[in-house]
Every structure is written in C-alpha cells, then in structure tokens.
C-alpha cells in the first residue's frame, strides 16, 4: 500500500540545501484500512545546484532521481531535527544520496500524540487501542508506504532505499529487516541493536547494572554531591514536594530520575550543575528559585513527549505485558530502594549515596507531571496488555542479505552492550 502525498513545499536553506516539506496520508491501522487515516510529515533534502547550461527535461529527471537515504530518530516519541541542524546531512549528501527525515507517527508534525489529541480518540480503552498502533511495526509500514510513493517513477534499481536509525530508530531498522527487507538497499544503526528475544525484566536488569556504574562515576567525580543529594532529598520531602512552573510537583522520587541524563555526553556534569544550583539556592534563600525549577523541569518532564513515557516499556514487548518492569526490577535492588518510598530521615539515608535511576519509566511519574497525569489510566492499560505483536523475525534475520552496519557503544547506558552483542550474532551480514 502506497502513501498519498497531500502537500509539498520546497525551500532553499543556507548551505546550498534544497529542503522539501512533505505531508503524506497513510492508514491509521494497516490491518484495518477502513479505520481511517493519519498524517505523516517528512523533510527531504538535496544539494541546490544551478548548472551553467540548463539541463534537458530528461537530464533533470535523471539528476533528481538519486538514491534515497532515510533517517529515523531515537525515542520513542522524538521528532527529527531540521536537515540543516543535523551533522549527518552533509555527510550523506556528499555520498550522492538525497535524504528523508521522517517524523515517526505520533511525533513532530506526524499526528503528534498529546493528552488532548489522544482524548479525541474516545474513552480510555480506545485511547490505549490507538496507542498500540504507534510501535516499530507500524513505523516501518509507514516507511514502506512512503517509499513506494516517492520511488514510483524511479527505475527499478533505485526503488530500494537506505535507512539509518539512531537508538530506538535502530530498533525500527531491525523490524524493517525482519518484515520488509525487499525494500532496503542497505541499513545502518547507531546505538540501536535492540535486545531481541529478551524480556523487559531482562533488559532492565542489564541497564540497571550500567546505571549503578554511572552513579559510582558521578559520585567519584563529585564526592561533595553525596551529602548534597541527601540534603536536597530531605528538603524536598520536608516541603511535601516542590511546585514546578508547569503545575507539577517535584517529589524525591521524581528528583532521583535525573540520572537518565548520565548516559549523554556531559551528563554527569549537567546533573551536578542542577544539584549545585539547588544547593546554592537553598544556602542563599532557603528555597529553590524559579529558574532552577524550570531547569529541573526541562531535564525531568515528559509532558512534551508523552509517547516516550507511555510506550517506553512496550518497545521491548512481544506476546507479553511489561507490568511496569523497570519499577519491579528496581525495587529488588538495594541501590534503588527509594522506589518503594521516600527517604525517611537524613540520618537514616546517609550511610550510602542516593543513586539516581536511568532511562526507566515508573508509574509515579504519571502522578507528578500534569500532562502525564491525564494519561495515567491509559499507561496502566498498556503496561498490563499481554497481546503485543512480534516485532522481529529471527528466522528472517538469520538469513538477512541486506548489508547492515551497526555502531555499538561499550558504555551505552541506554542500550546494553552485552545484549547488543547477542543481537548482532542473530543478524546475518551485520558488521559492527
């Protein structure tokens, strides 16, 4: 099934880039096309060239029909940056491709998921059923529908395209290789070798180990923060939580989810900066100032990317429910005993550092941020849903003929390296 191109506008961007803004219409549910359609948005980008001698119509057509290279952003729930803002653009264009940055369904301008847009679907169960259509299996069907539309007039040898997936985008690439390898010329993934064949609990047991390592590195670099974090936790608890600018309440447990930043470049330093700001505010004013609260909210809240929160555990599920696996595993680890409740007193918790959690979604997050709070019942339905479809075909991956290049990171806090190595062994023609 091909996508219907419903709008296209082209602009010249500094840097000699020609960027086209494309809107497509695709089925909401490919298994039931009569359920209606959703809108997808993508930007294509090529080099802007003005030859001295004008090209003939046939020459111009041939020049425009370059092989496609598609970029899929990480997440789930994150949109693509404009082409001129991503360093990969010039690298890919220099190789002779034209590029497509696709906002995956539910993100960016592709029928974005918010509490309000989700409410348009009807009651809580209908909202949950709608969200089941926003995983990697639907995303790659969207890609195939768009590919057929964009390459309809292309010669046969140019109808396959190349795909690149960052983090969760790489998960989508593995689904693509499983389901529609005939549409791919080559595939690339960066930090995106999904833990195929592993349960959500197995995934979180692995990632918690890396989070513990990052916490130890953090407190080794900033030993003064051992007491600082304890003191801040005690202050937050004593105040019954700190009101955030958007209307949410920063609890101790919410504060301790700052560790999701530990896996990013400069993540240890960014968390320390927030701890330092809070500590300094309290020393000077006896309260945390609005600019600091705004910075905390920006680092913690999922209110602008709710799809990330509601589907984060579901990306690991095949024929099983996640049942809030991150919380279940975390509560079994002494380093994260705070998941069962707030620290009781300053003296009771100072025996060891308070460890921050990583890229985990917990039910209590749906109690402290206003937009997520509206989605708490839906998130709970999804967490308990056991009927998730299979995302990967190990039989097909073992026979994969599409060249697949994957960059994996030894100290990746988000996609465990050892689990990634297990996946690499499952995929024929995978070069790391």
pLDDT tens for residues 202-253?
999 999 999 999 999 999 999 999 999 999 999 999 999 999 999 999 999 9
Last residue of a domain, one of 383, 402, 418: 383
Q: Which DSSP state fits 135? A: S
pLDDT tens digits, residue range 384-427?
999 999 999 999 999 999 999 999 999 999 999 999 999 999 99
Residue 176 and residue 257 in one domain = no
Q: How far is CA 14 from the centre of its chain?
A: 29
Q: What is the CATH number of the domain that holds 130?
A: 3.40.50.1820
Residue 177 and residue 60 in one domain = yes
Residue 169 and residue 204 in one domain = no
What residue numbers bound the domain in which 37 lies? 4-197+392-431
Beta bridge partners of 184: 161
This prediction's pTM: 0.94
Quote the number of domains for the chain.
Answer: 2
Position 351 scores a pLDDT of: 63
CA distance 329 to 307: 22
Residue 260 and residue 309 in one domain = yes
Residue 208 and residue 188 in one domain = no
Residue 71 and residue 171 in one domain = yes
Sign (positive or negative) of CA dihedral 7, 12, 15, 18: positive
Position 56 scores a pLDDT of: 65
Q: Is 22 helix (H, G, I), strand (E, B) or coil?
A: strand
Residue 159 and residue 214 in one domain = no
Residue 185 and residue 310 in one domain = no
Residue 292 and residue 253 in one domain = yes
Residue 171 and residue 312 in one domain = no
Residue 101 and residue 240 in one domain = no
Asked if the model's pLDDT at residue 59 lies above 80, the reply is no
Residue 175 and residue 226 in one domain = no
């Amino acid at each position: 099934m091909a996508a219907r191109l419903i709008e296209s506008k082209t602009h010249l961007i500094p840097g000699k880039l020609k960027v086209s803004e494309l809107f497509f219409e695709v089925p909401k549910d490919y298994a039931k096309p009569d359920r209606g359609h959703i809108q997808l948005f993508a930007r294509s980008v090529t080099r802007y060239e003005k030859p001295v001698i004008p090209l003939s119509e046939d020459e111009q057509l041939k020049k425009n029909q370059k092989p496609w290279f598609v970029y899929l952003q990480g997440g789930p729930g994150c949109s693509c940056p404009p082409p001129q803002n991503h360093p990969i653009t010039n690298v890919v264009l220099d190789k002779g491709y034209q590029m497509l940055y696709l906002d995956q369904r539910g993100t960016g301008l592709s029928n974005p998921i918010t509490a309000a847009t989700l409410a348009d679907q009807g009651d809580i169960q209908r909202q949950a059923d709608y969200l089941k259509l926003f995983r990697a299996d639907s995303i790659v069907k969207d890609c195939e529908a768009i590919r057929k539309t964009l390459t309809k007039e292309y010669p046969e040898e140019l109808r396959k395209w190349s795909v690149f997936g960052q983090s969760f985008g790489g998960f989508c690439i593995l689904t693509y290789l499983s389901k529609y390898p005939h549409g791919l010329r080559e595939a690339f993934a960066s930090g995106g070798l999904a833990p195929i064949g592993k349960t959500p609990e197995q995934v979180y047991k692995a990632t918690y180990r890396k989070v513990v390592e990052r916490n130890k590195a953090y407190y080794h670099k900033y030993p003064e923060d051992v007491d600082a974090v304890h003191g801040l936790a005690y202050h937050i608890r004593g105040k019954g939580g700190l009101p955030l600018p958007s209307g949410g309440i920063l609890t101790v447990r919410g504060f301790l989810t700052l560790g999701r930043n530990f896996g990013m470049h400069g993540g240890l330093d960014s968390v320390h900066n927030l701890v330092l700001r809070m500590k300094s505010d309290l020393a000077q004013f006896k309260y945390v100032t609005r600019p600091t609260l705004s910075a905390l909210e920006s680092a913690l809240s999922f209110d602008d990317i709710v799809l990330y929160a509601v589907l984060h555990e579901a990306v690991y599920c095949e024929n099983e429910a996640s049942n809030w696996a991150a919380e279940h595993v975390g509560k079994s680890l002494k380093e994260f005993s705070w998941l069962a409740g707030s620290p009781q007193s300053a003296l009771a918790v100072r025996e060891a550092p308070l460890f921050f959690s990583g890229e985990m979604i917990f039910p209590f997050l749906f109690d402290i941020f206003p937009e997520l709070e509206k989605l708490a019942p839906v998130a709970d339905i999804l967490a308990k849903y056991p009927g998730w479809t299979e995302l990967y075909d190990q039989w097909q991956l073992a026979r994969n003929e599409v060249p697949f290049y994957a960059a994996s990171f030894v100290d990746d806090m988000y996609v465990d390296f050892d689990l990634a190595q297990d996946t690499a062994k499952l995929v024929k023609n995978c070069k790391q």
